[in-house]
Amino acid sequence: MLDIIRKYRVLLGSKSPRRRELLQMMRIPFNVVTIAGVDESYPETMPAVEVPLYLSGIKADAYLKHLDDNELIITADTLVILGDRILGKPHTADDAVEMLKSLSGNTHKVITGVTIATKEQRTSFSSTTYVKFGTLSEDEILYYVDNFHPLDKAGAYGIQEWIGGVAVEKIDGSYYNVMGLPIHQLYKELKVF
């Protein structure tokens, strides 16, 4: 399997239950670590498509000073981008409704930036998936917001939930990237790390 498992204690620097689930699918033993208060701001002039990779790097930087020599950290950041507008995690149910209304009937990008780092080595990559939503009624949007947990998800939706089944007409790219971790690409990168 992966030589990396023998060389390093793998750490996932993420609070996301979806990223944990996806990394578990790869059968890589890992521990979850979190650092509170990581500044996730980015330059206002930065193009939206570059932000996820930038943020995954900032997160990795925060963990590096705490790593032991035999530890490897994986950090990631996923954003939904509609046109040039970043749709992060909604702050309120009303924000979630507005985000889902804007996604309804449109194609958006989901970009995940991933950084793999040890004290001696570092690599970063990003993955882009295009997602086409069908038109959603206001009742459907309200049903989703009232019955699921859109506030902890970029773009206010989880593709693996009810809305993914009823709204997603087409995806071009990695399904798992939309969930928050492009595991096929991560696996390839870990093999050569």
Encode pLDDT of 123-154 as tens digits: 999 999 999 999 999 999 999 999 999 999 99
- The pLDDT value recorded for residue 46 is 96
Q: Calculate helix-pair angle for 17-25, 183-192, nearest 10 degrees.
A: 60
- The pLDDT value recorded for residue 5 is 76
Instruction: Please indicate, yes or no, whether the overall pTM of this predicted structure exceeds 0.75.
Output: yes
How far lies 150's CA from each of 59, 64, 85, 98, in Å? 23, 31, 18, 12
Q: Which residues are identified as catalytic? A: 77
- The pLDDT value recorded for residue 106 is 98
Position 24 confidence tier, pLDDT thresholds 50, 70, 90: very high
Condensed to tens digits (0 to 9), the pLDDT of residues 169-190 reads: 999 999 999 999 999 999 999 9
Mean pLDDT, rounded, of the chain = 95
Q: Are 135 and 105 in contact (CB under 8 A)?
A: yes
- The pLDDT value recorded for residue 37 is 85
- The pLDDT value recorded for residue 120 is 94
Q: Are 115 and 57 in contact (CB under 8 A)?
A: yes
Non-local CB neighbours of 139 within 8 Å, separated by 6+ positions: none
Position 3 confidence tier, pLDDT thresholds 50, 70, 90: confident
Position 76 confidence tier, pLDDT thresholds 50, 70, 90: very high
Condensed to tens digits (0 to 9), the pLDDT of residues 43-65 reads: 999 999 999 999 999 999 999 99
User: Looking at the predicted structure, is the pLDDT value of residue 157 above 80?
Assistant: yes
- The pLDDT value recorded for residue 1 is 59
- Average pLDDT, integer, range 68-90: 95
- Average pLDDT, integer, range 66-78: 95
- The pLDDT value recorded for residue 78 is 96
